[in-house]
Amino acid sequence: MRHSLLHKASKQTRRHFLAYSAGLAAAAPMLASGLSAGEANPIASNTKPSNSKPSLSMKIGFHTDAFNSAYWSFEKCLAWAQANKVRYIECGLIDGVSWIHGLGYQPHVALYEDPALLRRKMDKYGVRFSQVDAAFPLSQEDGPLRGVPYVMKSIAWAAQIGCPCVDTTDGLHAPEGIQDKEAMVMMKRSYQQILHVAEAHQVIVNIEPHGYFTTNLDTMEAMLAFADSPFLRMNMDTGNTFIAGRDPVEFLKRFVKKVSHVHLKDVSKELAEAIRGGATGIAMSHVALGDGVNADNIRACLKLLRDHGYQGNLSIECEGQSGPLIEKSLAWVREALAELGVEEQRNPTAVAAAPVKAAGKRARKR
């Protein structure tokens, strides 16, 4: 009798373990787009039932870097998103206190801000996070000392506010005083530590092509293999890959199955002629999407994402000029998706019923 009970308990434990493991693996693609159960996965199967009509949608968001030069607050960015019917936002995370942020002149968020209270505020505007930016250069010598704890804290904070992804990257240049192989070993250990926390919180850690290692296809491939985890993915960036002298479309083709978030950046003709192939990234586009020399590549990338069933977020990284330039970019993206037969995905539960007036009053005083 006792043996029978123990055997039954053992079988039950194994079933729980297998169910948990399966759930962990299945959660990653869904989390990559900030989805709850029942919503469409960002990387969907290309295989459709023969009797169903293919339907695809993608999310459009933006990085609040667009309003750095305008010295907007994060809440003013929320108001802009609401006014332009944009439901997804991405911003940088500040680990500590910054006077310019405290005075309301920086469009990012500090880790000391309470996630539950900020989520409540964002809900009023009908906006949610697609990703938070914790891109401290992990390839630098101080990457393990400063970058790893910063990313880990960002992951825990992201989980509390319901943000599905945290963005990371390497340094713009080869690390000083460290051989490339040493730097790769160091980063592998760093990402393994980071993923230990990410898996516990079920938050995606994205690697963005933005630096010396990540804009190289071979080293990016090696970095994405640092751990066999569904929570290690890639944030594609059309502008960084182009300015690094790569073909953004070919870059995306190689890693499309690992993509969980996308940055859309165009590049002006003047900037391309000045630094393309000599830099590894740009903070944002200073030309509206569609007006630069990277426009055809962006269209081709959108088509490639569509053809691979991507249903995640497209985050616009464009200088806002207090609104007009990024609004032009937004219109271009919406038109490009419509031409591809892709709907813009908006979560109806995240849409506020009416504009939030209080933020508008404060914004006019600044």
The pLDDT, as a whole number, for residue 3 is: 44
CB within 8 Å of 279: residues ≥ 6 apart: 172, 243, 244
H helices of 202-323, in order, are 217-224, 238-243, 248-255, 269-275, 295-307
The pLDDT, as a whole number, for residue 324 is: 94
The pLDDT, as a whole number, for residue 17 is: 38
Q: How far apart are CA 215 and CA 200, in angstroms?
A: 29
Quote the pTM value. 0.83
Residue whose C-alpha is closest to residue 113's, from 62, 74, 67: 74
128-137 and 109-110 strand pairing = unpaired
Q: What angle, 0 to 180 degrees and rounded to 10, lies between the N-to-C axes of helices 148-161 and 115-125? A: 50
The pLDDT, as a whole number, for residue 346 is: 86
Asked if 197 and 149 count as a contact pair (C-beta separation under 8 A), the reply is no
Q: How far apart are CA 211 and CA 136, in angstroms?
A: 11
Q: How far apart are CA 325 and CA 318, in angstroms?
A: 7
Strands (DSSP E) contained in the chain are: 57-63, 88-94, 109-110, 128-137, 165-169, 204-207, 232-237, 259-264, 313-316, 343-344
Other CB atoms within a 10 A radius of the CB of residue 316 amount to 26
Asked if 262 and 235 count as a contact pair (C-beta separation under 8 A), the reply is yes
CB within 8 Å of 6: residues ≥ 6 apart: none
The pLDDT, as a whole number, for residue 356 is: 53
Q: What is the pLDDT along the chain (366 residues), one digit of tens a residue?
A: 444 443 444 444 444 434 444 454 445 444 444 443 334 444 433 333 334 445 799 999 999 999 999 999 999 999 999 999 999 999 999 999 999 999 999 999 999 999 999 999 999 999 999 999 999 999 999 999 999 999 999 999 999 999 999 999 999 999 999 999 999 999 999 999 999 999 999 999 999 999 999 999 999 999 999 999 999 999 999 999 999 999 999 999 999 999 999 999 999 999 999 999 999 999 999 999 999 999 999 999 999 999 999 999 999 999 998 999 999 999 999 999 999 999 999 864 443 334 555 444 433 433
The pLDDT, as a whole number, for residue 351 is: 38
